[in-house]
Amino acid sequence: MIDNPSIKLYGFPMYTIGPHTSIAGGVHNAVIQAAELGANAFGMFTKNQRQWKTKDLEKDSIALFKSTMAEKGFMAQQVLVHDSYLINLGNPDHEKRKKSLDAFIDELRRVEQLGLSLLNFHPGSHLGLIDAKESLSLVAQNLDIALSETDHAIAVIENTAGQGTNLGSSFEELAYLFEQCTNRERIGFCIDTCHAHAAGYSLGSPEEFDTAIERFDTLIGLPRLKGMHLNDAKSDAGSHLDRHASLGMGSIGWPTFEHIASDPRFENMPLVLETVDSTLWKDEVAHLRFGGRQ
């Protein structure tokens, strides 16, 4: 059966859920793996995430990815691409920041070449060399440049756990960053549950989650939320430690994730698992999509 986010399944609302899958052997393999796991959404990289340079996407690879997407019934809005971990658009060093900007533009172009629309990224780090707001302003400036040099892809800003000098652990910082940008129509957000929990927004119950998401809505607005990363947390709320756990095996717990996967506010956006045990992905996806029904 072809999954389509515009329809209801067995009378249930459509939630698009799946893990971050591998592109080993070709970008099309991320689609195949997601389908094999019973997912109707997935995350992916478009290149090696730990290298600055990589070869361009070839026409045959692009065509195979698009045909596999169509064959397996996935649509662009069900895929949340993640950029390279090396990119830091808030780097105080001009040359290093320019290197990050060039890489980010390339990432956006690769998303567009594949017929996709969402590029998830971390805001970056001030490295202890400048004020956080000054670094966030640099991120905004570079976002404006990157979006002006690409066509349609949406830059999706992900919250962080607040480790070290990383930016974007509070919704206030994310709101400040958004306010500094000029091309806001092509900017969205992704909430990582582990990161939010570790940053101090306790998500250990559905009620606590709702309190956190209402704060996000007040500061930024839920229409700007384009996806979520569903990860349990090995550490406690407020620890600032980015340590993902499998769902139900951390300090957040299943009730919060079940709540997210049944809340109409999060229909039709990619809810992507970055949980640590890939052998559990199929069960985690089935649990969230169908309450264990297959």
Q: Which residues are catalytic?
A: 50, 82, 85, 122, 158, 192, 195, 229, 242, 244, 274
Query: Distance between CA atoms of 204 and 28, rounded to whole angstroms?
Result: 36
Alpha-carbon torsion angle 81, 85, 88, 93, nearest 10: -150
Residues in the chain: 294
Run of H or E residues at 30: helix 28-36
Written in H, E and C, the secondary structure of 58-127 is: CHHHHHHHHHHHHHHCCCHHHEEEECCCCCCCCCCCHHHHHHHHHHHHHHHHHHHHCCCCEEEECCCECC
Residue owning tokens 């707001």: 133
